[in-house]
A and B are shown apart, each in its own frame.
Chain A
Amino acid sequence: MPEFEPRIVAFVCNWCTYAGADLTGTSRIKYSPNVEVIRFPCTGRIDFMLLLKAFAEGADGIIVSGCHPNDCHYTSGNFHARRRWILFRGLLDFMGIDVRRVQFSWVSAAEGAKWADVVNTTVEAVRKLGPYDNYRQIARSGGV
């Protein structure tokens, strides 16, 4: 039986992590192809309903990544994202979603290698957790 290949959605900000992931590319650092990136102007823009939507649509894991604290292109968007994540984590937990499926990290435009690292660790972690279907089942059945 082939090994389980998780599907990971990455929500990243345009200025730090997206640029950092570009740098991973220009540095030709290889990483797992299980991750696909959706670009936002800022992590502050990321509505956490999107994360639930992603789980509902069958994501096995999620990465949210933006600028390091104090480095936000928009001064403070990443702080909003962090605060929201702290609250959201509690909600996820309450809903029975394993919070380990969501990786929150800071990757700057200069951290190409770190991006590869974040992706690989998340893919490995989610691979260990196995496929995630519960939430999709509930969502499909109209429960959510």
Chain B
Amino acid sequence: MSTEARHNGIPATLADGILENTGVPVAKCYQCGKCSAGCPLAADMDYPPSLILRMLQTGDAGLEEKVLRSYTIWVCLTCETCIARCPMEIEIPKMMDYLRQESLRRGTTNPRARDIIRFHRSFLDSIKFTGRLYEMGLVVDYKARSLHLLQDVHLAPKMYLKGHLHILPELIKGLPLMRRIFSKTSRRGGEAAG
């Protein structure tokens, strides 16, 4: 990255930050739209992937804010269809990970994405406290966070009967290390899980 692009050691634009932290060069995008054409969720996004790249290319603070407040970055499934077909091999999924984490850090998450974020938090909490995903606990925790108390209630008994749900969590032995891993990685930026 060129020196003039930095200001007091902070990347001047979001695109610079992406390049510095993930190595993904936003400038490479020539707006062919192949990612948006193939994205299974493009129609459900507020800005399709190629448009996100275009907004970032401008370096315009207003547009960058729109990117960080977008629903797109949360509804992206990381299915990697975009990178599989991108002629410029721009790793959009990697960029999306960074944008999500930046959006969390700046507290600019999209209101429509609240459920998705709550789910992720519940998920990571479950791992943090038991080492593995405790599905029953995850669902209960997610419901408590999202207040979607009735969602999937019809499924639970059926799932239990079919042997899909454990009532009690399984705890792994290495839990102290797991806690250390969580605290070390949250110190190093990124979302403090839980």
Task: Note whether A and B contact each other (Cβ less than 8 A).
Answer: no
